[in-house]
Amino acid sequence: MPHRSAVPREVWVLVAASFVIALGYGIVAPVLPLYAQRFGVGNTEISAVVSVFAAMRLIFAPASGWLVQRFGEKHIYISGLLIVAISTGACAFAGEYWQLVALRAVAGIGSTMFTVSAMGLLIRISPASMRARISSLYSGSFLIGGVAGPILGALAAPFGLHAPFVIYAIALFAACAVVALALGRVQVPVGTEPGGVAGTGVDVRPVLTLAAAWARKPYRAAVAANFANGWTAFGVRVALVPVVMAAFFPGTASAAALALTTFALGNAAIILPAGRWSDRYGRRPFIIGGMALAGVATALFGFADNLVISLILCAIAGVGTGLCAPSQQAVVADVVGRHHRGGPVLATFQMVSDLGAVIGPLVIGALADLVGFGPAFAVTGALLVLGAIVWTFTPNEPERTETGAIDVVPRV
């Protein structure tokens, strides 16, 4: 059983910022497809508004890794948040469809900047015995904000579809202030090597190459699973679930917000204990079980014609995603360890998720236009199940210890 220790205070800074970011995101997510729909476009074009955001995250990820190494995590984190805040606020004033797409593309650049920065910081400051727990705290704060966001969005509904974008921009400016003020007062530990000087604030840890990480089966499996997760959770769910709910239940007010909120509630209910369980029992069983559960629920969602059943399936999918998410991120942290810089490794892990979020909405949106929502969501669910199957053939491997060495004693 892992040693219990206090969560580093730097983590709480990032957790607080994550909550503020998600609060605004939860307000925007349910209305973004509907906001695009007002320009008179179809499902494929609506999905493209989500895909272009992920596409720019994908394209700009390598540059973000270089910026982090050049200027440091904190500065790139804040810069990224500012870019997203400004571009998101400007979406409220978009007069044409192409303007909305362009602004979402700019927001994607800022998003990958603060995402890569946050991943690097979390790995550096997370004790080996708490990696999944800290991952669940960070992800859980985003989910709780995502639950509260649609509620605030409902309150903003009388002000029109423009209001959520303004509210999100304000939330992001607040997150910048939280990070700039709070993280500036704590010292993030840096590694040292022979010739390095402790306490100088210069990060001299060696870089873990992508080839070295790719040689380990768990990292390859985590990359495959993250592609499926990006396709589903960050692509299809955001782009098409609101459209499905509006089409199936046109007489139900705020059906889209209900669906996304129910998913987030199911996710938030399990993600914190899932992190503790992963640190105690290992990563693999929770990735397999979570992806399989989310896959089955997602496959059935497109055929549900009852509001209660649809919401139950959203909750089950949320539970499945919450079970596997902390373990997937902890696998990458195990591979990198605290005493290595994992820029290429982290960027690749993020990029495959963004690649899934780019391809998923476009493919599934086009499939929905051709054959309907049922088959489209069945394909999405099958992709998640395939990710679970990949992990069934992936053995557990030892984890990196606090010293950066590989622990040869398996976790029990």
Predicted pLDDT of residue 252? 59
Q: Is residue 100 part of a domain?
A: yes
Integer Cα distance of 87 and 235 in angstroms? 20
Residue with more model confidence, 105 or 23? 105
Least confident of 72-76, 168-172, 340-344: 340-344
Q: Is residue 91 part of a domain?
A: yes
Q: For the residues of 290-303, what is the DSSP string, one character each?
A: HHHHHHHHHHHHTT
φ/ψ of 189, rounded to 5, equals -65, 145
What are the Cα distances from residue 290, in Å, to 125, 133, 272, 295?
A: 27, 16, 14, 8
User: Would the pLDDT of 172 be above 80?
Assistant: yes
Q: Report helix, strand or coil for 31.
A: coil
DSSP 8-state secondary structure symbol assigned to residue 411: P
Q: Where residue 74 falls among pLDDT bands split at 50, 70, 90?
A: confident
Predicted pLDDT of residue 295? 93
Predicted pLDDT of residue 245? 80
Q: Is residue 163 part of a domain?
A: yes
- DSSP element (H, E) containing 77: helix 73-91
DSSP 8-state secondary structure symbol assigned to residue 205: P
Predicted pLDDT of residue 185? 55
Q: Is residue 372 part of a domain?
A: yes
Q: Where residue 411 falls among pLDDT bands split at 50, 70, 90?
A: very low
Closest Cα partner for 49 from 40, 30, 36, 38?
36
Q: Is residue 411 part of a domain?
A: no
Integer Cα distance of 34 and 201 in angstroms? 47
Mean pLDDT score across all residues of the chain: 79
Q: Is residue 31 part of a domain?
A: yes
Tokens, residue 173: 């400016």
User: What integer is the mean pLDDT of 308-330?
Assistant: 90
Question: How many domains, the chain?
Answer: 1
Q: What angle do CA 374, 376, 380 make, to 5 degrees?
A: 115
Q: For the residues of 317-374, what is the DSSP string, one character each?
A: HHHHHHHHHHHHHHHHHHHH-TTSB-HHHHHHHHHHHHHHHHHHHHHHHHHHHHH-HH
Which structural domain, as residue segments, surrounds residue 327? 9-188+208-392
Predicted pLDDT of residue 229? 85
Looking at residue 263, which CATH number applies to its domain?
1.20.1250.20
Predicted pLDDT of residue 84? 93
Q: Are 410 and 283 in contact (CB under 8 A)?
A: no
Q: Are 371 and 295 in contact (CB under 8 A)?
A: no
Q: Is residue 65 part of a domain?
A: yes
Q: Is residue 195 part of a domain?
A: no
